[in-house]
């Protein structure tokens, strides 16, 4: 599992933006290993920096989800009653919308930018966190060890944070990694559609858009490499998630 | 007779959740009569066995006594304090007087908390002593319950211990606060047979050392006979017989007690047993039978038994039975 | 000719840590019409032994060596087709938990029909249902209830249904794995009485697997005691209870409360069963045995016979 945790994150792209102006649409060669696109930009640098952007978006959206979704999920299901009913209603309504459509709608409203993209993805994803946490909390709440905490005289806050939350973490990790992977795909989708980031910012989504148009002319490298990167990044995050959840499981520490 | 705990006319009804359509079409509510008018008292230093099968209400009664659930009606007095009047912070602090030993050692310990910490939490939640004093006391109690040396166990997680060891941790956690009253809910049911007596011995030693009073909840009559001083037999939410162990098991009055006694498997092939096994099974506590709850299965039932409900009466000094025709053996 | 003959059976579980011998060279045989009580605590291998007789040991478990012969059939080596014919038809098996052993979306009748059709596909559905109803009636359940779903039955009734399904095809051998563990006291007694009665009326051969010594005392002709995958003692019920030979049997009997015995003092066995991934040398019980001596720590005791009882203990093997 350690191997998985190390090998998967493709966190390389922190190079500064290098947009060389080189020969237009040249296939992969020694000087430009991944070729150039119709604007003469180096594909390799675009892939690198595009990756950086992707990563930022994904991380940001996960953070927003954690900060917003987890507390709502925890408190709503622990307190029950009206809090729970209202929260569930809100979350279910958001959940009812198909993800990408909602993301597009919100991105269109907010306008382009890394932060706004992250926010629109986060909004789409928060209900998933909520649901998973809620079902976990409801189950754990009834377990004897929570009853034990009460009988020892624990305050509600203590019970929630020291007895319930630690046991909910594995599922949070599971959702977070799917979130990462999905965020990558959604953000690529958003820029592919034309929303999300301004043209000047290097991004795999743009590359995919142009790549699609350029494909008939035989320039396969413009779409292939970014596309491959999207898949690999998503896959990498998923595997990292599996590694992380094994790490968190004390039962496997023997 | 020093009454530590007095329970009077205790009732707990749980509403039955109905499906959507049922809720629309019928306005009638139905309830699970888990505990239905139960009264008893526990003397200081006593070990009272609350014996019954599933649906008898014994576990619910135990939890009501600890105020882990709220009664529907009825009162519980602990050393003169009315538990109904305890709330919030007062209740939280009061809890150090009464603790619970759970049935399943695996699920009563958080899988993510080391066992030493799990025990120490009892002290830290109640704010007893400084952090290092708490650690000292935790180490001491771990060794006292047989987990010696403490260093072998303190930092372990529950899944790294055997069932018997886990149960000792649960006992340590219950006793580290020096409570006066301990409810033990089937404490050995999930422990291996060959180790059970060891856990029971431990509980009895600790009782002497800490001056405890136990409420022992169980379905295992043979075990109840071994450990308890007094017995109360429960059936479908009611106490049907109570008295000293020797009386209830030796000279049972209620037909249900008789049925229970004749149903226990005896590890002796030569023992010739008079088996009076009633037919049928325990009815649902949502709709208990009218009159005496046991009458549909009772071999001695008469007309009156289906019409009127017998109350728990003191038939002889300290001998209680809820039956119109108590048997004498 | 014994109905079931098990010889030197070894069942191993292949785990990452080690090869664990869940059943280690166990031999026993069943005569027709006899009842054997197979007792032991959790992890001793009794359930695994039961499942081996119909080759249902779940992976990563595997029968490693030995013989199991049922009548004329070699259970270990016969074809998949043949073992399927054995299951249900010649050996009825009652699994541990009646709550989860029945399919919740199928009516009881459907369970019976499926059971019967698997082995006798020519039987019409109507006839299969009729047979099911007869079985239910004999077990004290109203025959109309054949149309009910499992959740409509209480625990004891479900167990009766399980027994009925196991007996539906008239098997030669019935194996019951902890048939009463999850049931209440009185219902447990009802089921035991039922098994005793069926034993008589159907001349059943029964293997009763349990950790409850009490129910074995009144139903079994012979008792086999298992510890850590090995057979510790095997003898007639009366003999075993009156004069237990193996120290484990003695300790086990002393740890079970007997409500008819006044002033009983319960004892217990210190320590815990061995970790089968790293078993101690010699006799597996020696770390907990009050009578252990030098030989016990080095040499594994073999099963020897004394006045009709088999015991694996050096105390009786002064060679």
* Mean pLDDT in residue range B223-230: 93
Q: Are residues C191 and C298 in the same domain?
A: yes
| Three-state DSSP state, A168 | helix
A44 confidence band (pLDDT: 50, 70, 90): low
CB contact under 8 A, B126 and A166: no
The reported pLDDT for the residue numbered B148 is: 85
| A137 inside domain | yes
* Mean pLDDT in residue range B64-75: 93
| C148 inside domain | yes
A174 confidence band (pLDDT: 50, 70, 90): confident
In the block, residue with structure tokens 């079985």: C135
Neighbours of B, requiring at least 3 CB pairs below 8 Å, are A, C
Q: Does B54 touch chain C (CB under 8 A)?
A: yes
Q: How far is B153 from chain A (nearest CA, A)?
A: 14
Neighbours of A, requiring at least 3 CB pairs below 8 Å, are B
**Strands C173-177, C91-94: parallel, antiparallel or unpaired by DSSP?**
parallel
Q: Which range has the worst mean pLDDT, A166-170, A225-229, B163-167?
A: A225-229
The reported pLDDT for the residue numbered A1 is: 37
Scan residues 72-131 of A and list those with Cβ closer than 8 Å to B: none
Most confident of the following: A177-191, C14-28, C226-240: C226-240
Q: Comparing C-alpha atoms, which of B89, B65, B69 is closest to residue B79?
A: B65
Joined together, the tokens standing for residue B243 give: 């008295």
| A199 inside domain | yes
Tell me the H-state helices in B71-114.
88-94
Closest A-chain CA to B110: A145
Q: Report the CATH number at residue C266.
A: 3.40.50.300
| C129 inside domain | yes
Q: Are residues C17 and C70 in the same domain?
A: yes
Q: Which of C259, C263, C270, C274 to mutate to test the interface with B (most CBs of B within 10 A)?
A: C259
CA distances from B116 to B147, B170, B191 (A): 11, 11, 21
- pLDDT tens, residue by residue, C240-264: 999 999 999 999 999 998 888 888 8
Percent of chain A past pLDDT 90, that is, above it, reads: 4
Q: Which range has the worst mean pLDDT, A35-44, A140-149, B28-37, C149-158?
A: A35-44
E strand or H helix that includes residue B182: strand B181-185
The residue with greater pLDDT, C236 or A95, is C236
Q: Is the pLDDT of residue B227 over 90?
A: yes
* Mean pLDDT in residue range A93-104: 82
CB contact under 8 A, C184 and B260: no
- pLDDT tens, residue by residue, A100-150: 788 888 878 877 777 777 888 888 888 888 888 899 998 998 899 999 999
B70 confidence band (pLDDT: 50, 70, 90): very high
* Mean pLDDT in residue range C107-118: 90
* Mean pLDDT in residue range B214-226: 93
Contacts of B93 in chain A (CB under 8 A): 153
* Domain end position, chosen among C147, C170, C193: C170
Q: What is the dihedral of CA C126, C129, C133, C139, to 10 degrees?
A: 150
E strand or H helix that includes residue B167: helix B163-175
Tell me the H-state helices in B30-87.
58-65
Scan residues 120-139 of B and list those with Cβ closer than 8 Å to A: 121-122, 125-126
For chain B, how many residues are written? 329
Contacts of A142 in chain B (CB under 8 A): none
CB contact under 8 A, C272 and B261: no
What would you report as the CA-atom Rg of chain B, rounded to the nearest whole angstrom? Answer: 21
Bridge partners of B33, per DSSP, are: B13
CB contact under 8 A, A166 and B159: no
C234 confidence band (pLDDT: 50, 70, 90): very high
Contact between residue B322 and residue B239 where contact means Cβ atoms under 8 Å apart: yes
In the block, residue with structure tokens 């109203």: C142
- pLDDT tens, residue by residue, B122-141: 999 998 889 999 999 999 99
Q: Which range has the worst mean pLDDT, A180-194, B76-90, C193-207?
A: A180-194
Q: Are residues C143 and C233 in the same domain?
A: no
Q: Which of B64, B125, B171, B190 to mutate to test the interface with A (most CBs of A within 10 A)?
A: B125
**Interior angle at CA B76, CA B75 and CA B79, nearest 5:** 135
Q: How far is A158 from chain B (nearest CA, A)?
A: 9
Bridge partners of C260, per DSSP, are: none
* Mean pLDDT in residue range C171-196: 89
Contact between residue B34 and residue B57 where contact means Cβ atoms under 8 Å apart: yes
The reported pLDDT for the residue numbered A37 is: 67
Q: Does C157 touch chain B (CB under 8 A)?
A: yes
Joined together, the tokens standing for residue C178 give: 């902890």
Q: How far is B110 from chain A (nearest CA, A)?
A: 6
* Domain end position, chosen among C170, C191, C214: C170
Question: CB under 8 Å to C174, separation ≥6 — which residues?
Answer: C91, C92, C93, C94, C166, C167, C204, C205, C206, C207
Helices A81-96 + A43-79 axis angle, to 10? 150
| C36 inside domain | yes
| C95 inside domain | no
B51 confidence band (pLDDT: 50, 70, 90): very high
- pLDDT tens, residue by residue, C51-105: 999 998 888 888 999 999 998 889 888 888 888 888 888 999 998 777 788 888 9
A57 exposure class (CB count in 10 Å sphere: 0-12, 13-18, 19+): buried
Q: Which of A153, A253, A254 sits opposite B126 (nearest CB)?
A: A153
Q: Is the pLDDT of residue B116 over 70?
A: yes
CB contact under 8 A, B162 and C212: no
| A201 inside domain | yes
Contacts of B102 in chain A (CB under 8 A): 144, 147-148
Q: Does C221 touch chain B (CB under 8 A)?
A: no
Q: Does C255 touch chain B (CB under 8 A)?
A: yes
Before B149, cis peptide (omega within 30)? yes
Q: Are residues C135 and C151 in the same domain?
A: yes
Question: CB under 8 Å to C27, separation ≥6 — which residues?
Answer: C6, C7, C8, C9, C66, C231, C303
The reported pLDDT for the residue numbered B318 is: 87
Question: CB under 8 Å to C236, separation ≥6 — which residues?
Answer: C221, C222, C223, C308, C309
Q: How far is B284 from chain A (nearest CA, A)?
A: 23
User: Over chain C, what is the mean pLDDT?
Assistant: 89
Question: CB under 8 Å to A59, separation ≥6 — which residues?
Answer: A180
Please spell the DSSP secondary structure of C144-185, one letter per residue.
GGGGS-GGGS-HHHHHHHHHHHHHTT--SEEEEESTTTTS-H
Q: Are residues C218 and C305 in the same domain?
A: yes
Q: Are residues C50 and C80 in the same domain?
A: yes
Contact between residue C188 and residue C200 where contact means Cβ atoms under 8 Å apart: no
CB contact under 8 A, B102 and A148: yes
Contacts of B153 in chain C (CB under 8 A): none
* Mean pLDDT in residue range C260-284: 87
CA distances from C81 to C75, C86, C87 (A): 11, 9, 10
Q: Does B21 touch chain C (CB under 8 A)?
A: no
The topology (CATH level 3) of B43-66+88-228 is Rossmann fold (3.40.50)
User: Over chain B, what is the mean pLDDT?
Assistant: 90
- For chains B and C, CB pairs below 8 A equal 119
Query: Could you give phi then psi for residue B326, rounded to 5 degrees?
Result: -60, 140
In the block, residue with structure tokens 């052993």: C101
Q: Does B189 touch chain C (CB under 8 A)?
A: no
- pLDDT tens, residue by residue, B145-168: 999 889 999 999 998 888 889 999
Neighbours of B1 (CB within 10 A): 7
Q: Which domain holds residue C114?
A: 100-170
Does the model's pTM come out above 0.90?
no
* Mean pLDDT in residue range A157-184: 83
Give Cα B164 to chain centroid, integer Å: 20
Contacts of A151 in chain B (CB under 8 A): 66, 68, 95, 99-100
Joined together, the tokens standing for residue A142 give: 């009834």
The reported pLDDT for the residue numbered A41 is: 67
* Mean pLDDT in residue range C174-180: 91
Q: Is the pLDDT of residue B305 over 70?
A: yes
Q: Is the pLDDT of residue A53 over 90?
A: no
**DSSP 8-state secondary structure symbol assigned to residue A74:** H
The residue with greater pLDDT, A189 or B37, is B37
Distance CA B251, CA B231 (A): 12
Q: Does C287 touch chain B (CB under 8 A)?
A: no
The reported pLDDT for the residue numbered B329 is: 44
Q: What is the number of domains present in chain C?
A: 2
Contacts of B221 in chain C (CB under 8 A): 185, 259
Neighbours of C, requiring at least 3 CB pairs below 8 Å, are B
The reported pLDDT for the residue numbered A9 is: 45
Q: Does B79 touch chain C (CB under 8 A)?
A: no
CB contact under 8 A, B195 and C268: yes
Distance CA A220, CA A254 (A): 50
Q: How far is B280 from chain A (nearest CA, A)?
A: 32
Contacts of C190 in chain B (CB under 8 A): 277, 279
Q: Are residues C227 and C117 in the same domain?
A: no
Q: Which of C258, C267, C289, C290 to mutate to test the interface with B (most CBs of B within 10 A)?
A: C258
Using the Cα atoms of residue C210, residue C213, residue C217 and residue C222 in order, give the sign of their dihedral.
positive
Q: Comparing C-alpha atoms, which of B238, B259, B255, B251 is closest to residue B301?
A: B255
User: Over chain A, what is the mean pLDDT?
Assistant: 75
Before C94, cis peptide (omega within 30)? no
CB contact under 8 A, B113 and A162: yes
CA distances from C68 to C11, C225, C231, C235 (A): 12, 19, 16, 20
Neighbours of A108 (CB within 10 A): 15
Bridge partners of B50, per DSSP, are: B217, B232
Q: Is the pLDDT of residue A4 over 60?
A: no
Distance CA A66, CA A181 (A): 15
| C196 inside domain | yes
Q: Are residues C122 and C54 in the same domain?
A: no
CB contact under 8 A, B108 and A147: yes
A5 confidence band (pLDDT: 50, 70, 90): very low
Q: What is the number of domains present in chain A?
A: 1
A203 confidence band (pLDDT: 50, 70, 90): low
Q: Are residues C175 and C164 in the same domain?
A: no
* Mean pLDDT in residue range B211-226: 93
Q: In what side-by-side order are the strands of the sheet with C61-70?
A: C19-30, C4-14, C61-70, C73-74
CB contact under 8 A, B177 and A250: no
CA distances from A33 to A26, A51, A215 (A): 10, 17, 18
Q: Does C197 touch chain B (CB under 8 A)?
A: no
The reported pLDDT for the residue numbered B278 is: 84
Q: Are residues C289 and C312 in the same domain?
A: yes
In chain B, which residues fall in CATH 3.40.50.300? 43-66+88-228
Q: Comparing C-alpha atoms, which of B183, B10, B85 is closest to residue A147?
A: B183
The reported pLDDT for the residue numbered C107 is: 92
Contacts of A254 in chain B (CB under 8 A): 160
Joined together, the tokens standing for residue B329 give: 């053996």
Q: Are residues C160 and C182 in the same domain?
A: no
* Mean pLDDT in residue range C215-234: 93
Q: Which domain holds residue A161?
A: 62-249
Q: Is the pLDDT of residue C110 over 70?
A: yes
Its ipTM equals 0.85
B43 confidence band (pLDDT: 50, 70, 90): very high
Contacts of B157 in chain A (CB under 8 A): 250-251, 253
Using the Cα atoms of residue A196, residue A199, residue A201 and residue A207 in order, give the sign of their dihedral.
positive
The reported pLDDT for the residue numbered A250 is: 60
Q: Comparing C-alpha atoms, which of C256, A140, C232, A242 is closest to residue B225?
A: C256
């Amino acid at each position: 599992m350690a191997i998985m945790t190390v090998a998967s994150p493709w966190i390389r792209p922190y190079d500064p933006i290098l947009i060389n102006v080189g020969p237009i649409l040249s296939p992969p060669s020694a000087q430009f290993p991944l070729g150039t696109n119709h604007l003469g930009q180096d594909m390799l640098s675009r892939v690198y920096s595009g990756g950086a952007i992707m990563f930022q978006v994904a991380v940001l959206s996960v953070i927003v989800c954690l900060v917003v979704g987890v507390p709502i999920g925890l408190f709503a299901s622990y307190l029950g009653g009206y809090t729970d009913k209202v929260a569930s209603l809100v979350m279910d309504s958001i959940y009812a919308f198909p993800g990408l459509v909602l993301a597009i709608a919100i991105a269109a409203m907010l306008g382009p930018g890394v932060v706004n993209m992250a926010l629109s993805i986060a909004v789409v994803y928060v209900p998933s966190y909520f649901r998973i946490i809620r079902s976990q909390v409801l189950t754990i709440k009834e377990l004897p060890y929570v009853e034990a905490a009460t009988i020892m005289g624990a305050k509600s806050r203590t019970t929630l944070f020291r007895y319930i939350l630690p046991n909910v973490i594995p599922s949070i990790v599971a959702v977070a990694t799917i979130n990462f992977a999905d965020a990558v795909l959604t953000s690529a989708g958003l820029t592919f559609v034309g929303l999300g980031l301004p043209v000047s910012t290097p991004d795999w989504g743009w590359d995919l858009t142009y790549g699609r148009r350029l494909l008939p002319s035989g320039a396969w490298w413009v779409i292939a490499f970014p596309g491959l990167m999207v898949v690999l990044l998503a896959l990498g995050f998923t595997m990292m998630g599996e590694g992380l959840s094994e790490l968190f499981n004390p039962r496997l520490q023997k | 007779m020093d009454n530590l705990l007095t329970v009077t006319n205790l009732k707990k009804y749980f509403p039955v959740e109905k499906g959507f359509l049922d809720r629309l079409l019928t306005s009638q509510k139905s309830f699970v009569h888990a505990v239905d008018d139960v009264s008893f008292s526990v003397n200081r230093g006593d070990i009272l066995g609350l014996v019954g099968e599933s649906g008898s209400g014994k576990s619910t009664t135990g939890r009501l006594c600890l105020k882990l659930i709220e009664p529907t009606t009825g009162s519980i007095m602990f050393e003169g304090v009315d538990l109904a009047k305890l709330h919030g912070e007062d209740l939280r602090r009061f809890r150090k007087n009464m603790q619970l030993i759970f049935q399943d050692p695996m699920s009563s310990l958080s899988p993510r908390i080391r066992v030493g910490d799990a025990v120490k939490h009892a002290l830290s939640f109640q704010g007893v002593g400084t952090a290092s004093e708490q650690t000292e006391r935790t180490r001491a109690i771990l060794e006292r319950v047989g987990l010696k040396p403490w260093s072998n166990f303190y930092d372990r997680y529950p899944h790294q211990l055997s069932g018997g060891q886990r149960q000792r941790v649960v006992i340590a956690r219950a006793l580290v606060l020096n409570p006066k009253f301990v409810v033990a809910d089937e404490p050995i049911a999930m422990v291996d047979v060959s180790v059970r007596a060891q856990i029971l011995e431990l509980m009895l030693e600790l009782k002497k050392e800490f001056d405890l009073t136990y409420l022992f909840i169980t379905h295992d009559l043979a075990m109840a006979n071994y450990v308890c001083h007094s017995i109360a037999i429960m059936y479908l939410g009611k106490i049907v017989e109570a008295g000293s162990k020797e009386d209830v098991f030796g000279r049972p009055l209620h037909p249900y007690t008789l049925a229970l006694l004749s149903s226990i498997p005896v590890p002796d092939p030569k023992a010739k047993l008079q088996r009076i096994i009633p037919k049928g099974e325990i009815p649902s506590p949502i709709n208990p039978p009218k009159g005496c709850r046991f009458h549909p299965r009772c071999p001695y039932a008469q007309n009156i038994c289906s019409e009127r409900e017998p109350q728990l009466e003191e038939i002889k000094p300290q001998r209680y039975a809820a039956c119109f025709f108590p048997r004498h053996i | 000719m014994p109905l079931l003959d098990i010889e030197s059976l070894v069942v191993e579980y292949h785990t990452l840590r080690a090869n664990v011998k869940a059943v280690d060279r166990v031999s026993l045989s069943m005569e027709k019409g006899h009842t054997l009580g197979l007792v032991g605590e959790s992890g001793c291998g009794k359930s695994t032994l039961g499942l081996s007789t119909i080759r249902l040991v779940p992976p990563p478990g595997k029968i490693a060596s030995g013989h199991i012969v049922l009548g004329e059939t070699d259970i270990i080596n016969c074809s998949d087709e043949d073992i399927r014919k054995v299951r249900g038809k010649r050996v009825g098996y009652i699994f541990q938990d009646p709550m989860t052993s029945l399919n919740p979306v199928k009516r009881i009748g459907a369970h019976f029909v499926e059971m019967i059709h698997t082995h006798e596909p020519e039987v019409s559905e109507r006839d299969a249902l009729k047979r099911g109803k007869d079985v239910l009636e004999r077990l004290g359940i109203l025959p109309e209830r054949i149309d009910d779903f499992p959740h409509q039955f209480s625990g004891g009734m479900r167990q009766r249904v399980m027994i009925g399904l196991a007996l539906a095809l008239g098997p030669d051998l019935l194996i019951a794995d902890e048939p009463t563990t999850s049931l209440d006291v009185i219902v447990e007694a009802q089921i035991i009485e039922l098994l005793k009665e069926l034993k008589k009326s159907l001349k059943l051969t029964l293997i009763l697997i349990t950790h409850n010594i009490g129910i074995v005392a009144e139903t079994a002709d012979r008792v086999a005691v298992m510890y850590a995958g090995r057979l510790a003692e095997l003898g007639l019920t009366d003999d075993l209870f009156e004069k237990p030979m193996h120290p484990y049997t003695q300790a086990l009997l002393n740890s079970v409360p007997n409500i008819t015995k006044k002033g009983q003092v319960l004892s217990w066995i210190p320590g815990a069963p061995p970790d089968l991934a790293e078993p101690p040398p010699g006799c597996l019980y020696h770390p907990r045995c009050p009578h252990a001596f030098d030989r016990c720590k080095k040499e594994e005791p073999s099963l020897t016979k004394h006045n009709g009882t088999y015991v694996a203990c050096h105390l009786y093997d002064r060679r």
